[in-house]
Copies of this chain bind each other. A is one copy, B any other.
Amino acid sequence: MLMTADQYLDSIRTRGIAVWFRGEKLPNPVDHPVTFPPANCLAETYRMALAPDTRDLLTGRSPLTGEATNVANLLWTSREDLLKRMEWERLVGRRTARGALRSPGLDALNALAIVTRRVDRARGTEYRARFDAFLRAVHEHDWALSGAMTDPRGDRSRGPSQQIDPDLYLRVVARRRDGVVLRGAKAHQTSACHSHWHLVLPLGCREGEEDWAIAAAVPSNAPGLFHLYSRQPGDDRRTERADLDVGLPDFGGCESLLVFDDVFVPNERIFLNGETPWTRDLVHYFGSFHRHCYGGCKVGIADVLIGAAAAVAEMHGVLDRPIVQDKLTEMVHLTETMYACGVAASALGRMEEDVFIPDLALAQVTKLNVTRFPFEIARLAADLAGGTMTTLPAEGDLRHPELGKLVRKFMATRAGVDPEDRMRILRLLEFLTHGMGSTYFLHESLHGAGAPEAMRITLRKEIDLAPLVANAKALARCADA
C-alpha cells in the first residue's frame, strides 16, 4: 500500500528516531526548520508515486505483493527498469533541486539480492530468504530505506582491524543466539534520519576481520541508534525563517553520522555475518549501482541551474547575446553528457543472478564525469548570474519598511521584472553554487559513492587491456602480435 506524503511524514515524525543537532536533541526529525526541507524532499517521492502525471514513472509492480510499489524499493529486472530509473531520478532531481534521497536504499537492496544468493550457494546459508521476507515487508509498508555503508575509517591507510579504535569500522561486539550487537558508526548518511529502516553494509574485510563483515536491516528507531545531524553552510538561514535568503525554501538534503551504541539485530534481519570474501562484492555492487544513479539525480539539479541561469540572463536583458547562449549551451552539453553516461550504463546492462544491473564500467564513467562537470556547470551558472549573486542584501533589508524601497530600487533590472523575483533566483543560484545545496551538488558529487579514486581503480579493473594491446600489435604488424 502506497503511503501519501503526509502519511509518510507522520510515520517518521512519530517513529522515535533520535537526532541531535548542534548539541540539542530534536523532538522529531521532521518539524525543525532545518530538517523539514529534506524530509519534504523525501516525501516528494511519495507524492509523485501517487500523482497522476508521475505515477507510472515512480511506481512498478512488486513481484512479492503483486501491488504497485515505489520504484525506490524495487529490484531491477530489465533494461527498461534501469532506463526508467535514469528518468525518474532526473525528474525528482529537477522537481526538488535535491534529488531522490532513497537511492542508497535502493542500491543496497539490489546489491544484497545478488550477494545473498551467492553466499547461500557457496555457504549453504539462507540469507536470500531472509532478505526476501524483509523486502516483502518493505513493499507492504512502503517504507523508506537508507543504505549505510561508509564507516568513519580513521586512518585511511589501515583496514578495520588495524585502527587505534576497533569501532572506527562498525562491528559485532557481542553474538547471541538470537542475534548480534553492533557498535560503531556509519558516516555520510544521506536522509537516514528520515528513513524507516537502514540497510547496513560492510566495507571490504579481509580474513580475520569477520566481526566487521556484517550486513543487516535495522529499524531506525532501534535502541542505541542515534544521529548527529551535519551542518551545511547557510543552514541557519532556515532557522531564521528567512525563506528568500534560503534560496530553496521547500526542499533540501541532509546528512548525519549514525551512531550504533550497542544496537541489537535479530538473526532474521542479518544478511551477511562474517563471510568476508563477499564484502568486496557488496562494496563493488553497491558502489557501482550508486555511482550509476548520479547520472540521473545530479542531472536533474543541473537542469535547475540551467533554468535559473537562463532566468537571470533574461532578467538582466542579455539572454540573446551569443556569448550567453554559448555558455548556456555548454551547461546543457555537460549536463546531457552526464545523463548520456547513465543512460548508456542502463542500456548496456546485464543480468547478475536475478537482478538486471547497469554496465559496471560505464557506471564508473558516469560518476567520474559527475565528479567534474557540476563544478564547471556551477562556475558557468555563477558567470551568468553576475556578481550580484554574492553581494545580495538580506531578506530582512527587503522587508524593512524604509530600506525595502531602496532594495527594490537598486535590485531592479528591466521593466516587468520583479526585483524580489530576481533576488529569489539569485539566492537559488547561491544555494546551489556555494550554499547548502553546493554541499550535495558539488561535494557529494565528488565523494558520494566513493572518492574519484575508487571509480578510477574500478574502471581500470573493468576494462581488460590485453585484447587492446594485442589488437594494436596486430595492426602495427609486430612480430609478437
Contacts and interface: CB of A to CB of B under 8 A. Distances in A.
- Which of A325, A375, A391: most chain B Cβ within 10 A? A391
B152 A473 contact: no
A10 interface: no
B388 A228 contact: no
Interface string A440-477: 10111011100111001001100101011111110111
B339 A344 contact: yes
A317 interface: yes
28 contacts: A21-B396, A22-B396, A23-B395, A23-B399, A83-B347, A154-B414, A156-B386, A156-B413, A164-B414, A185-B406, A187-B391, A188-B388, A228-B393, A231-B237, A232-B390, A234-B234, A251-B475, A256-B391, A259-B410, A303-B468, A304-B472, A307-B472, A322-B323, A328-B460, A329-B459, A337-B341, A340-B362, A383-B446
B471 A20 contact: no
A248 interface: yes
B237 A476 contact: no
Given A434-B442, A472-B308, A155 B413 contact: yes
Nearest to A249: B477
Contact of A412 (B165, B233, B396, B438): B165
A98 to B, nearest CB: 10
A23 to B, nearest CB: 3
A252 to B, nearest CB: 11
Interface residues of A, number: 162
B391 A243 contact: no
Given A394-B22, A427-B476, A439-B434, A329 B231 contact: no
Interface stretch (A65-73, A194-202, A268-276, A416-424): A416-424
